[in-house]
Amino acid sequence: GAVVSQHPSRVICKSGTSVKIECRSLDFQATTMFWYRQFPKQSLMLMATSNEGSKATYEQGVEKDKFLINHASLTLSTLTVTSAHPEDSSFYICSASGLAGGQSYEQYFGPGTRLTVT
Amino acid sequence: AQSVTQLDSHVSVSEGTPVLLRCNYSSSYSPSLFWYVQHPNKGLQLLLKYTSAATLVKGINGFEAEFKKSETSFHLTKPSAHMSDAAEYFCVALNNAGNMLTFGGGTRLMVKP
């Protein structure tokens, strides 16, 4: 149990276009979802936290107008990178937190999405 | 505020020898602590977690970690390394409210044949 999926796993887009990444909790209701960014050979950096039905809370330095987060249901959150530029190329990982299988609220991580902006 | 420090960015061991990945934390309370493993271009897999029960925690794939409050440490160990253990390892702390993870910088484990 407690599976989180991300789609797509890899995406290549041209500079100036927008790309949407989906994060789904497959077998539990995720009251909170988190979006992380990971640069090569570095640790994960939290970008934003979103609660279902509420606006996301962004970490300092993260542009909310560039990284649009929607958490419209208890099983789906989306991250849209608008007007992408090569410096947005990165590995994006989501995690979901909720009462999974009767266990306490632990974060379960998705497999990540590799974004390359050309 | 809490912080997590992984003392080694790279660790190299020979196959069959013990593994020690070091982690120290700083917190005003006893946090929940986790070790995750990440293989290249993959997400994070939970190895084990400490949540104020037994201080010696056993995880998957033969890994274990010991919570030492006096040393504010949560080092990850394995008696005998396997080639498949080569990956990036993250020590992570969960805050008291249970809604924020703090990641260490990661340790890349290399296993030589």
- What is residue B14's predicted lDDT score, i.e. its pLDDT? 98
- What 3 state SS string does A75-94 have? CEEEEEECCCCHHHCEEEEE
- What is residue A100's predicted lDDT score, i.e. its pLDDT? 59
Touching check for A109 and chain B: CB below 8 Å?
yes
Under the banding of pLDDT at 50, 70 and 90, the label for residue A9 is very high
Maximum distance among all Cα pairs of chain A, rounded to whole angstroms? 44
DSSP for B27-62, please give it.
-SS--EEEEEEE-TT--EEEEEEE-SS-SEEE-GGG
Cα atoms found within 13 Å of the Cα of residue B32, Cβ hemisphere only: 15
The string of pLDDT tens digits covering residues A14-47 is: 999 999 999 999 988 888 899 999 988 788 899 9
- Cβ within 8 Å, pair A109-B41: no
Residue B98 has its nearest CB partner, among A46, A49, A105, at A105
Contacts of A31 in chain B (CB under 8 A): none
- Cβ within 8 Å, pair A41-B101: no
Residues of chain A with pLDDT > 90, as a percent, come to: 69
Owner of token pair 């797509």: A8
The string of pLDDT tens digits covering residues B64-108 is: 999 999 999 999 999 999 999 999 999 999 887 777 889 999 999
- What is residue B80's predicted lDDT score, i.e. its pLDDT? 97
Q: Which residue has the higher pLDDT, B41 or A103?
A: B41
Contacts of B98 in chain A (CB under 8 A): 97, 104-105
CA distance B41 to chain A (A): 8
- Cβ within 8 Å, pair A114-B43: no
Touching check for B62 and chain A: CB below 8 Å?
no
- Cβ within 8 Å, pair A91-B41: yes
Nearest to B21 by CA among B111, B112, B109: B109
